[in-house]
């Protein structure tokens, strides 16, 4: 394994391929992340309790499905590698389920709820297959911590660039296909079809560019034989010994409510509090342009401050922006755009989470002697999807509690309530997300020392690192 210790450089081609994978990822999940709740309330006509039930069942299944998929990916061995086959063959199935999820079925009552549940769960399952492979792939296409962070930055750049495009075009696309000044069922379906078709070749670009350079070395026959044979539950128990990974998963869960899950309710705020359908695209576009700028700063800022300190800074700024929107914006669109720019700048923190996880995987291999890229990636995916679901379940219930009525003029107390739900609740979750970050101890120097230990065949039990003694 001596070749793992050599200085590695970030390949522009590899960065492009991994970035394209994130472009596909964002396209595949954009409609669900941003418009599914409002589609369910305003187009399908589901009640708040029905939506909550769908989200709850889907997320309970995700709690089982995500780790299972991660475990399957870790055990996969093909001529294409561990993770690339899923990027090659699963995207068409995700496209089909995405389209079905945004279909208004000509049925009523319980059957309508069941069909929405089945299509949403189906989408989530196929998405889990793909996103687990996509997230884990970085750990076998690069080995150096900073190179992995650079590739995660490329992933964030891909996310930001496509988000700019999606934010600018999706709502106009919905209105175009719906042939109306307001969003309707035809519009949502038309947009879902276009995005689902565009997504497939983007995943294929990633699959064919990002070769699994280090899979054989990191998962050599000797290394695999040296690991004790465990079942799924045994692998979960081993992963849970990785305290650094668990800190990042908890941080990501609450942080994702601030960033990704909040987006599912942001349209309500812009439409009913600010009072403009057309401003939806403008706000999302400003946020994603800012996210692109923030993502471009990550390599520079993480080198100067470290991942942990930069994450702390971004989270504090984001909390302040949420509070600023709640207190000062009202119907002032220019001021909303200023605060939205700050929010978007901090949205780049999502790329940092994957850098944290890559370092935690090295730490896990060093501490317990087990390398589980797929399972670790699935835990992060589960945290993001669980936060999205919680926002979907609790968000729609809170909207109902403050008096929201679909397709109607909202009262003053309702608009105040929407403002609180969309901005203050995420701000509180942002504060909570800071707590587990204080337990994260993997500095860049410690990760380099752990990597050197692994290259030398050492583990926590045989290492003379100070970190080993402290842990």
Global pTM exceeds 0.75: no
Look over the chain and give the mean of its residue pLDDT values, rounded to a whole number.
86
Evaluate whether 414 touches 403 at the Cβ level (below 8 Å): yes
Nearest CA to 32 out of 121, 132, 138, 140 is that of 121
- How many Å apart are CA 274 and CA 261, to the nearest integer? 20
Asked if residue 430 has pLDDT above 70, the reply is: yes
Q: State pLDDT tens for residues 84-107.
A: 999 999 999 999 999 999 999 888
Nearest one of 423, 123, 45 to 263, comparing CA atoms: 423
- Give the pLDDT score at 221: 62
When mean pLDDT is compared across 96-110, 131-145, 275-289, the lowest value belongs to 275-289
d(CA 450, CA 458): 9
Residue 64: predicted pLDDT: 79
Band of residue 29 on the pLDDT scale cut at 50, 70, 90: confident
Backbone angles phi, psi at 78, to 5 degrees: -135, 175
Residue 226, CA distances (Å) to 189, 223, 371 in order:
51, 5, 12
Write the DSSP symbol of residue 327: H
Helix (H, G, I), strand (E, B) or coil at 458: coil
* d(C-alpha 266, C-alpha 470), whole Å: 44
Helix 145-178 to helix 444-455 angle (10° resolution) is: 110
As a whole number of angstroms, the distance between CA 343 and CA 347 comes to 6
pLDDT, tens digit, 9 for 90 and up, residues 212-233: 888 887 776 666 655 666 666 7
Vertex 316: Cα angle to 310 and 320 (nearest 5): 145
Cβ atoms within 10 Å of 90's Cβ, excluding its own: 20
Q: What is the pLDDT of residue 215?
A: 81
Q: Exposed, middle or buried, 88 (CB in 10 Å: 0-12/13-18/19+)?
A: middle
Taking the C-alpha atoms of residue 331 and residue 114, their distance in angstroms, rounded to an integer, is 39
């Amino acid at each position: 394994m001596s070749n793992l210790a050599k200085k590695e450089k970030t390949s522009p081609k590899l960065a492009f391929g991994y970035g394209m994978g994130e472009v596909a990822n964002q396209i595949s999940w954009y409609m669900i992340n941003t418009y599914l709740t409002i589609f369910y309330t305003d187009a399908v006509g589901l009640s708040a309790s029905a939506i909550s039930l769908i989200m709850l069942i889907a997320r309970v299944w995700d709690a089982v499905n995500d780790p299972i998929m991660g475990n399957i990916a870790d055990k996969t061995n093909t001529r294409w590698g561990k993770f690339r086959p899923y990027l090659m063959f699963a995207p068409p199935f995700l496209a089909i389920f995405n389209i079905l999820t945004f279909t208004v079925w000509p049925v009523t009552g319980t059957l309508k709820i069941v069909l929405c549940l089945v299509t949403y769960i189906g989408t989530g399952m196929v998405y889990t297959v793909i996103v687990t492979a996509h997230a884990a792939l970085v750990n076998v296409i690069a080995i150096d911590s900073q190179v992995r962070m650079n590739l995660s930055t490329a992933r964030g750049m891909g996310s930001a660039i496509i988000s700019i495009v999606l934010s600018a075009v999706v709502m106009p696309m919905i209105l175009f296909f719906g042939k109306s000044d307001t969003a309707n069922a035809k519009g949502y379906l038309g947009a879902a079809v276009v995005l689902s078709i565009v997504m497939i070749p983007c995943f294929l670009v990633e699959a064919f560019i990002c070769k699994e350079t280090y899979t054989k070395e990191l998962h050599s026959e000797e290394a695999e034989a040296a690991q004790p044979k465990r079942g799924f539950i045994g692998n979960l128990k081993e992963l849970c010994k990785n305290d650094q990974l668990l800190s990042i998963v908890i941080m990501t869960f609450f942080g994702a409510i601030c960033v990704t899950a909040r987006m599912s309710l942001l349209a309500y705020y812009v439409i009913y509090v600010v009072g403009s359908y057309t401003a939806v695209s403008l706000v999302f576009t400003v946020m994603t342009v800012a996210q692109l700028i923030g993502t471009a700063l990550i390599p520079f800022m993480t080198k100067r401050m470290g991942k942990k300190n930069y994450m702390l800074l971004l989270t504090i700024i984001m909390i302040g922006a949420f509070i600023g929107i709640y207190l000062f914006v009202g119907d002032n669109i220019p001021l909303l755009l200023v605060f939205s720019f700050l929010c978007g700048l901090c949205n780049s923190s999502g790329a940092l989470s994957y850098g944290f996880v890559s370092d935690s995987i090295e730490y896990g291999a060093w501490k317990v002697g087990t390398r589980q890229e797929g399972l670790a990636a699935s835990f992060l995916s589960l945290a993001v999807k669980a936060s999205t679901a919680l926002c979907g379940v609790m968000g729609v219930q809170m909207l109902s509690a403050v008096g929201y009525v679909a397709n109607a003029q909202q009262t003053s107390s309702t608009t105040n309530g929407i403002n609180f739900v969309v901005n203050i609740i995420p701000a509180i979750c942002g504060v909570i997300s800071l707590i587990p970050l204080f337990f994260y101890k993997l500095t860049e120097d410690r990760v380099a020392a752990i990597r050197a230990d692994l290259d030398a065949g050492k583990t926590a039990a045989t290492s003379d690192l100070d970190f080993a003694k402290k842990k």
